[in-house]
A and B are shown apart, each in its own frame.
Chain A
C-alpha cells in the first residue's frame, strides 16, 4: 500500500471481485421465484393445406395466442424469449417440432398478451404426414437474465388436429 498505483490496483481488483460475487448471488436469487404462467392457443382457421411439389406437406393457419408470463420476470430478468411450436409424432420421427411464432418480451408490462396472427414461420413437414395429424401446441420460453443462469420451460396444450384432406 506504499504508493498510489499499488492502492489503486488493490482497490480495483477487490471491487471487481466483489462485483462478480454480487452477480452470482443475484443470479442465485432467481431460484426463489416460483412462476405461475398461463397460456391458451386457438386455431381459428386453416388457410390452406397442400402437398408441395418437392413432396413435403405444408399448412398455413390463423391463430389466437394468449398468455400471461408476468410471473416469470424477476429483478434480474433482461427479457423473455417466447415461441410457439407445433409438436407431433410421425412414423419416421418420434418428435417433430415446428416453430410457428416467436417474440421477445422486454418487460413485465408486456408479458400479458393476446395476439391474432397467421403463423410467422412456415409449417412444413418432413414428408407427407400431416393429414389428420394430431398435434400439440407448446409454448416455450427462455427467461434471459441480466446476469447468470437462464431458465427455460414450457406449457403443452393438446387437442389439435389437422384436416383430413388438402384444401
Chain B
C-alpha cells in the first residue's frame, strides 16, 4: 500500500485507538454493562427498590462511558507501525504496461 501525506490523518489524534485497543474497549464495554445490569437487578430485587436498581445501573453506564469511550493511553499500547514515506519511495508500485490507463482523480 502506498500512502502520501494523507496517512497523517490516521496517525494518533485525540479520538483514535489502535486495533488491539478497540477490541479491548468493545469487550470491556459489553462486560461492564452486563455485570452492572446483573448487579443492579439483584440488589434492587433483594432490597425491594426499583429505583435503586435504576440508580446503580445508571452509575454503571456512566462509569463504563468514562472508561471505554475516551482514547486512554492503555488502549494505544500496540500502535501500528506505518511505513515511513521515504522508505515507500524506494519501492515503487509496479507499473501496469497494458493499453488504456485512466487517470483516477486523487480522493482525500
A residues apposed to B, CB below 8 Å: 1-4, 7-8, 10-11, 14-15, 18-19, 21-22, 25-26, 29, 75-76, 146-147
B side interface size, CB within 8 A: 28
- Which of B34, B50, B71 is most buried by chain A, counting CB atoms within 10 A of its CB? B50
User: Of A2, A10, A75, which is within 8 A of B50 by CB?
Assistant: A75
Q: Which of B63-78 contact A (CB under 8 A)?
A: 64-65, 68-71
Chain B, interface SS category? helix
Query: Is the pair A2, B17 in contact by a Cβ cutoff of 8 Å?
Result: yes
Q: Are B45 and A75 in contact (CB under 8 A)?
A: yes
Q: Quick check: is B11 within 8 A (CB to CB) of the other chain? A: no
- Interface on chain A toward B: helix, strand, loop, or mixed SS? helix
Whether the pair B69, A7 counts as a contact (CB closer than 8 A) is yes
Please name all residues of chain B whose beta carbon is closer than 8 Å to the beta carbon of A21 when the two chains form the complex. Answer: 37
Residues B22 and A1 in contact, CB atoms below 8 Å apart: yes
Q: How far is the CA of A1 from the CA of B22 in the complex (A)?
A: 5
Q: Does B82 contact A (CB under 8 A)?
A: no
Nearest CB of A to B64, in Å? 7
Q: Which of B37, B61, B71 contacts A4 (CB 8 A)?
A: B71
